[in-house]
Amino acid sequence: MAPANDDHSDPVKAPEQARQPRRLGLSGKLLLLTIPLVMIAEVLIYVPSMANFWTNRLNARLASANTAALVLDAAPSGMVPDTLARQILDSIGARAVAIKLGQQRRLLASTGLTRAIDHDVDMRTLTPWTSIVTSFEMMFETGNQAIRIIGPPPGGGQFLEVVVDEQPLRKSMYRFSRNLLLVSLAIAILTAALVYLALHFLFVRPMRRLTESLVDFHENPESAARIIVPSNRSDEIGVAERELSDMQRDLVSMLHQKSRLAALGLAVSKINHDLRNLLASSQLLSDQLASVPDPRVQRFAPKLMRSLERAIAFCQSTLSYGRAQEAAPDRRMILIEPVVAEVRESAGLAAETSITWISAIERGLMADADPDQLFRVLLNLVRNAEQALEGQPATQIRITGRREGAVAIIEVSDTGPGIPPATRENLFKAFQTSGRPGGSGLGLAIAAELVGAHGGEIHLVEGTIGATFRITIPDRPVELLSVRNERARA
């Protein structure tokens, strides 16, 4: 049964989503972008086409007038009957035809000009821009104005003139405009559809797929099934798909690791309370045991009490790794040999075992460190070495220590199989290097954190038999004034 509060899981976000208007998607934006671009293309095609049609019609009138001028000029004595002249002018759609020869202007034929000329168009000096402006001016006029068209003559004259009516020309321009718009509109619709479909399949659908993957992954970022499967595209969208897939895989892995850490913290917090009480009771018993006069008891009781004190301290700070930083180290100059001996006893290697223990610590070697934290570091390394030697024919753990200037160097090595190359990159990261059943993968991570708190370093030494970890702990810088004060007090 679903929880009762599923429908009200986010009461703040739900009203906000309800108030948000539905936004236009990429497909709608692409359509709105395609329409004005097609309209602009239509205008760019229509305007020069209209001017070119107008110019061609005027040139056609001039060509017809040239033919008529040849006929009229070839008449005997230049006299043409009015009936024939009217028929010729009607056939070419003109009111009058005139030609200028030298200083003489000759009217070849006329149907009777009863009004003035409204427009003069000289085809010899006509420019493309002038043809566009003049053609649209005539197209949007009303009435039937007279147009005088001037062009080159058929013979050796200076120019030929023909007067025509504007209304027939305007009607032909309207018909051409209508036909051009219909054809252009059909071509534009087809082109826009093809462009829209091409962009939709090439860009919009992949982007929508990316968006849906992001939304689905946001709903359940811990599900590996929500990771996008990248396509084989080699362009920017293909790169985005592959990068998104890698990012989602990394995030799923990180969330699984965080969930494991949270579960571990919850489990440890449950154990911590009861375990701390049990250890406290054991500490009371060890205090009573310390009063027994037996020499053997007196020999081991302090070590037992010290181990219990450490266990209680560890229990109280168990959650520090997952919840906060480790406590700052209480540093002071300490001898390394006693700490190493205590690590050997705590690891169970002091008695006769199958593992050979070799300690090569310089005599009197001291380090500026917290003894408890250094004990934890060395104990983690020794236990890792002990686990690596299980089932090995030659078993040996070696601890060496030396000083180089103001730096104390400690090395812990074993003769085990070594560290696999695949795990070396994440060697000191939590939950990354545990290769045995039941292991937590925290030992090296905790050791690296404690050594780093001392300003030192821990790393794997390359080219050795088995595994060798080197710890370097530098001494703290000493202020000259504090040294002088200590000497003065002494």
* Highest mean pLDDT of the ranges 5-19, 176-190, 193-207, 371-385: 371-385
DSSP secondary structure, 231-270, as one string: -S--SHHHHHHHHHHHHHHHHHHHHHHHHHHHHHHHHHHH
Structure-model confidence comparison of residues 426 and 484, the more confident one: 426
Which residues contact residue 240 at a Cβ distance below 8 angstroms, ignoring those fewer than 6 apart? 210
Which residues contact residue 401 at a Cβ distance below 8 angstroms, ignoring those fewer than 6 apart? 336, 340, 360, 361, 362, 365, 408, 409, 410, 411
Predicted pLDDT at 311: 67
* Highest mean pLDDT of the ranges 11-25, 101-115, 462-476: 462-476
Average pLDDT, the chain: 76
Are residues 428 and 444 in contact, defined by beta-carbon separation less than 8 angstroms? Answer: yes
Helices (H), 290-370: 295-316, 320-323, 336-346
DSSP structure class, residue 204: I
Sign of the alpha-carbon dihedral angle for 345, 351, 354, 359: positive
Structure-model confidence comparison of residues 440 and 305, the more confident one: 305
Query: Per the structure block, which two tokens stand in for 34?
Result: 């395609």
For the cut 50, the answer to whether the pLDDT of residue 19 exceeds it is no
Are residues 124 and 151 in contact, defined by beta-carbon separation less than 8 angstroms? Answer: yes
- Read off the pLDDT band of 340 (50, 70, 90): very high
Which of 81-90, 240-249, 251-260 shows the lowest per-residue confidence on average (mean pLDDT)? 81-90
Predicted pLDDT at 451: 92
Structure-model confidence comparison of residues 406 and 440, the more confident one: 406
Predicted pLDDT at 271: 65
* Highest mean pLDDT of the ranges 203-207, 223-227, 408-412, 415-419: 408-412
For the cut 60, the answer to whether the pLDDT of residue 321 exceeds it is no
326/340 Cα distance (integer angstroms): 22
Are residues 189 and 195 in contact, defined by beta-carbon separation less than 8 angstroms? Answer: no
Query: Can you tell me the mean pLDDT for 259-285?
Result: 63
Predicted pLDDT at 74: 62
Sign of the alpha-carbon dihedral angle for 368, 370, 372, 378: negative
- Read off the pLDDT band of 142 (50, 70, 90): confident
pTM: 0.44
Query: Per the structure block, which two tokens stand in for 152?
Result: 């080159």
Query: Can you tell me the mean pLDDT for 58-82?
Result: 70
Query: Can you tell me the mean pLDDT for 410-419?
Result: 90
Which of 20-24, 202-206, 308-312, 426-430 shows the lowest per-residue confidence on average (mean pLDDT)? 20-24
What is the maximum span of the chain, computed from C-alpha positions, in angstroms?
Answer: 164
For the cut 70, the answer to whether the pLDDT of residue 114 exceeds it is no
What percentage of the chain exceeds 70 in pLDDT? 70
